[in-house]
Structure formats: C-alpha cells, structure tokens
Amino acid sequence: MVKALLFDLDGTLYDRDGAVAELFAAQHRKFEAELGGLPVAHFVERMLELDQHGHADKRTAYGVLVREQGLQDALADRLVQSHREISPHVGELFPDALVTLGALQQRGLALGLISNGRVDTQGAKLRRLGLERFFSALLISEAEGVRKPDRRIFERALQRLGVSADQAWFVGDHPVADVAGAHAAGLTAVWRYVPYWSEPATRAFTIFSLSELLGRLADTAPRAGG
C-alpha cells in the first residue's frame, strides 16, 4: 500500500527551463556592457545549452561562455553569483503542481521532497512558491551532505516520513539522479517525462503530467473484497 510520495523539485514540480531562460535574459540586461556585444538571444541560447537543464556545474558553464567570447575570466564568477541571487525569484510551478499536491495531501499521503542544490537558493524558491506547507520532510543536498542518486538521501527521507521503501513512490524527471537513485533505494520510481532526457534504464512508471499520479494511485489501490 502506498503511504508516501516524494518529489524532485526542478523539472518535476518547478518549470526550471522556463525559469532559467528568464534568468539568463535578466543577466544579459545586467551585464550587457561587459558581454562584448553578444546579442541577448545568443547569450540565452548558449547558456541554456551549457546549463544542461541544471546538471552542469555553473562555474564551468559560465567559464566556457566567457572563454568563447574572449572575455575576462573573472566575469564568470560574477555571473555565477548573479545566478544565485536571481534564481529564487524567477519561474513558476507547473500548472497542475499545487492542485495535485493538495489532492495527495487530502488522501492522507505523507509527502516529501528531495532536491539537489544549495540551501539558500532552493529554500528561498520553496518559500516563494508556497510549497513548504505540503511536505513533512524536506531534504536539500547541501544540508544533507549527500546528493541524489546516492541512496542515503532517499533512505533519510523515508526515515523522516516514517515509512518503508516499499510504501513510497519517488517522482522525478532525471533518469539517473531521480529514477535510478530511487529504484536503488527500493522505492517505486515514477519518471516525469521530459523530452530532453533519455528514457530511464531502470523500471519506472511514466507520467506526462503531475495530475496523472492521482489515477496511477487509484489503479494500485486495494479493491474492496479483493
């Protein structure tokens, strides 16, 4: 019986790609005079490529752009700092995120969240988006000292929710950090389909929207008299 659902944040509940496009455009406005005449569309497009949907090291990504443009390396550090300052203030949840979390909560399911990232940026984002009220366990990798796909971060979340791995689902978009990590920790993995990652190599349910979780859970619920 499913007693708990755990979620990834970026790319799963939160439209990170939309957020960083907005963020990179804001950075171009701020640093335009230092970017050697690089047009905003080219800056945003190239940074979206280098960002790798949040899985690239930010200093490395900005460093590549700066070197490509023949700019001073110190600018990369300032762009990284700017990224951290802007990130909590841009972007929105996917349209069905809040209603789905609310429905799951009403069903009496324990909810948790596991996010790879910094406490300051992820914590501020959670507060702005109004997500904290839904989760009984919130784990951010910087605070935990361990990152997905390491099974220990999943095991800590289960312990804090008071459930066993076979009673929990984990929902995420990344085939390794989320799906393979959850599967290795014994949870049922749910892959939130995104077009830019390959299909997970490990077994998982696939959903195309968060609201599909409600139907999936209904399909797995025990039948009366069964």
Question: Which whole number is the average pLDDT over 27-48?
Answer: 96
Report pLDDT for 221: 62
Domains in the chain: boundaries: 4-15+92-220, 16-89
Give the architecture (CATH level 2) of 4-15+92-220. 3-Layer(aba) Sandwich (3.40)
pLDDT tens for 203-216 read: 899 999 999 999 99
Whole-number Å distance between alpha carbons of 170 and 2: 11
Write the DSSP string, 195-210.
TTSPPPSS--EEESST
Which pLDDT band holds residue 222 (cuts at 50, 70, 90)? low
Question: Which whole number is the average pLDDT over 139-149?
Answer: 98
Integer-rounded Cα radius of gyration of the chain = 19
Q: Is the pLDDT of residue 224 over 60?
A: no
Whole-number Å distance between alpha carbons of 223 and 4: 19
pLDDT tens for 166-187 read: 999 999 999 999 999 999 999 9
The contacts of residue 102 (CB under 8 Å, 6+ apart) are: 134
pLDDT tens for 75-119 read: 999 999 999 999 999 999 999 999 999 999 999 999 999 999 999
Helix H segments across the chain? 16-31, 40-51, 58-68, 74-86, 97-106, 119-129, 141-144, 151-161, 181-184, 212-220
Q: Is the pLDDT of residue 65 over 90?
A: yes
Report pLDDT for 219: 78
Report pLDDT for 220: 74
Q: How many residues does the chain have?
A: 226
